[in-house]
Amino acid sequence: MNPTRQRRGFTLVELLAVIAIIGLLIALLIPAVQSARATARRVTCSNNLKQAGLGMLAHSELNGAFPFGQPLLTSWGHQYSPLNPTDLSAGQQDRRSWFQPLLPFVEQQPLADRVAAWATSFSGYVTYMSLNSTQVPSFMCPDDPNAGKNRTFHGSGGNQSPSCPPEQSQGFHGNYVTCAGSGTFGSALSSTVPALLADPANGSQTNGMFRASRPVTAAAILDGLSNTLMLSEILLWPDNGRDDIRGRYWNTLYLNSSFSTFQPPNTSEFDNMECNSADPACGTTTNTGRVMYARSRHAGGVCATLGDGSTRFIVDSIAADVYRALGSRNGRETLPTE
């Protein structure tokens, strides 16, 4: 061995160069990983909506119509029947939404059986069911940190009653909601008949695939199933000093599980719905012109399902007239071919 030969290591410059290269590669890799994860979450969300849409079509095939947006029932325990319009003079409903009749068609038959048993037991609103807090993952967007929320009733501000104790859970809230049309939802007739009126200024809330008073058949969708929105998504917020009823499936009094296309996705316009004042999308609630718009945390738009069960990603920049045309079932609008 040559005693004069020296062992050579990395110089400081070489070490710093390697560290810089590794740092650059990590900087390039992290956004790619984040983008891939965001894409995966969006695909999951789209698939959830796809399954719900197929369930709606199966419901229509079996029962002859799509579910009510907000079913009104003639008496406690009255069996759900999609083809028998409600006698509004009876003034009774158990505040369920389209979600409960859809359960058997999205692999939730046991929960659907419990709902039916509760309804026939004359026990009151389905909101009081202990199982109403059961989370159904296929109705939760993976991009929303508040998905699966249960609490909506804080029991203060004059809203408390003996049958609604403070901090009561009013049931599972979901991110996916039905399309009520291209206008606002109007107002309640009275506390006993929570049917929704049309808003002549902004069009009728009953021009979508889902409405409060009676079900819609496939034949009534004159614009065509492939040209009419069925489902889209909203964001959920935890309560902060008041109720936030958006996305509440088990107590739908103001069509709070349906959205409107009057404003485009992720609009800066407020939702006019009882909701959390900490949410920047929540405005001052009024009883007239109630409305809720599609929103998501996906970059640039929202996932949606059309009446034929196909899914689309609708960008925030969609033309207002096109989006409103998608919301109506019978406007006979001409949609772009692209």
Q: What are 15-29's pLDDT values in tens digits?
A: 788 888 888 887 777
Contacts of 274 (CB under 8 A, 6+ apart): 242, 243, 244, 245, 254, 256, 285
- Band (pLDDT 50/70/90 cuts) for residue 241 is low
183-213 exposure pattern, b = at least 16 Cβ within 10 A, e = fewer: bbbbbbeeeeebbbbbbeebbbbbbbbbbbe
Structural domain spans, the chain: 15-327
pLDDT (tens digit, 9 = 90+) per residue, 33-75?
666 677 788 899 999 999 999 999 999 999 888 988 876 543 3
Give the per-residue pLDDT at 72: 53
Instruction: Note whether 292 and 328 are within 8 A (CB).
Output: no
Using alpha carbons only, give the angle 313, 66, 79 rounded to the nearest 5 degrees.
140
pLDDT (tens digit, 9 = 90+) per residue, 284-322?
666 667 789 999 999 999 999 999 999 999 999 999 999
In three-state secondary structure terms, 192 is coil
Amino acid residing at 165: P
pLDDT (tens digit, 9 = 90+) per residue, 163-214?
455 445 778 899 999 999 888 776 543 333 333 433 333 334 468 898 776 7
Sign of the Cα torsion 93, 96, 102, 108 reads negative
Instruction: Give the chain's mean pLDDT.
Output: 76
Closest CA to 134 of 159, 161, 169: 169
Residue 11: other Cβ atoms inside 10 A = 9
Q: Specify the pTM.
A: 0.79
